[in-house]
Amino acid sequence: MFYWLLKKIVVGPVVRTVYRPRVTGVENIPLDGPAIIAPNHLSFCDSVFLPLAAPRQVHYVAKEEYFTGRGVKGRLMASFFRGVGAVPVDRSGGRASTAAIDTGMRELAAGRLFGIYPEGTRSPDGRLHRGRTGVAHLALASGAPVIPVGLVATDEVQANGSMRWRRPFRVRPEIHFGKPLTFDRYEGMQRDRFVLRAVTDEIVSAILDLSGQEYVDIYATKAKLLAAKAAKAAESESTVGKAA
């Protein structure tokens, strides 16, 4: 009830009026039964625009910390994430990816629409990065179709790392739902790493066609590390230059 209250009455009308998102391909989302939504990831607000555009509730995994905060703010945050269908998962330690996949399998087994970002994290530079194979594992183990999604310009609404929404009435994000991808030909092969990589690459390729991004064949987490190292090196050079 809280999800539909936010979508239809509270958040949805405001976001649609202020940002007028362009949406295509909604007919590609099955109206019932398990399915996987697989978008690129440019901004935190992706998880707002995408559910607003989808005809069904989209269930995501969210960091467990969002559900365990203290005080009024912590309780409000926990209530919000539970209300919008987010599922808590422990992302610490080596079981983080396994826990997310297990959660996804439970949601799909219940016939729900499950959202997962193949890149694993937000893009640090606006490009589309190499996909993690968790989405392929989910697709092969569950038999659910994968709906690739191309998100465009959401990072112009909310910059990476910022909580502030910008440029109202001046930018129009785009949400493009692609045709369902099925992988029946690989049934029972979810433990084959070559198959997992092939399926993941096919999904990412479909996302690329929809988003129009530049593709780079490295993980987004590595791209973030490289960017941080470059920034640190530049800062060191600047400090040395000033000292000289």
pLDDT at 161: 76
Q: How far apart are CA 115 and CA 9, in angstroms?
A: 23
pLDDT at 214: 96
Give the three-state DSSP class for 151: strand
Closest CA to 97 of 77, 117, 73, 127: 117
pLDDT at 240: 58
Asked whether residue 37 carries a pLDDT value surpassing 60, the answer given is: yes
For 49, the enclosing helix (H) or strand (E) is helix 46-53
Q: How far apart are CA 80 and CA 83, in angstroms?
A: 5
* Mean pLDDT, range 161-174, rounded to an integer: 90
Cβ atoms within 10 A of the Cβ of 178, count?
21
Is the distance from CB of 173 to CB of 70 less than 8 angstroms? no
pLDDT at 243: 59
State the Rg of the chain over Cα. 19
* Mean pLDDT, range 190-207, rounded to an integer: 96
Cβ atoms within 10 A of the Cβ of 80, count?
13
Q: How far apart are CA 35 and CA 145, in angstroms?
A: 5
* Mean pLDDT, range 167-185, rounded to an integer: 96
* Minimum mean pLDDT range among 35-49, 72-86, 210-224: 72-86
Alpha-carbon dihedral 216, 219, 220, 221, rounded to 10 degrees: -150
State pLDDT tens for residues 120-137: 889 999 999 999 999 999
Share the mean pLDDT of the chain: 88
| Range list of H helices, 54-109 | 71-83, 96-109
Asked whether residue 93 carries a pLDDT value surpassing 60, the answer given is: no
Q: What percent of the chain stands above pLDDT 70?
A: 92
Please state, in angstroms and as integers, the Cα–Cα distance from residue 99 to each residue in 91, 93, 130, following that order. 8, 10, 21
Residue 63, beta-bridge partner list: 89
pLDDT-derived band at 95 (thresholds 50, 70, 90) equals low
* Mean pLDDT, range 12-25, rounded to an integer: 94
pLDDT at 179: 98
* Mean pLDDT, range 84-109, rounded to an integer: 77
Give the three-state DSSP class for 217: coil
pLDDT at 229: 86
Q: How far apart are CA 101 and CA 19, in angstroms?
A: 33
- Higher-scoring residue by pLDDT: 48, 160: 48
Dig out the tokens for 66 from the structure.
């969002």
Q: How many residues does the chain have?
A: 244
pLDDT at 87: 79
Asked whether residue 43 carries a pLDDT value surpassing 80, the answer given is: yes
Q: Which CATH number is 2-217 given?
A: 3.40.1130.10
pLDDT-derived band at 238 (thresholds 50, 70, 90) equals low
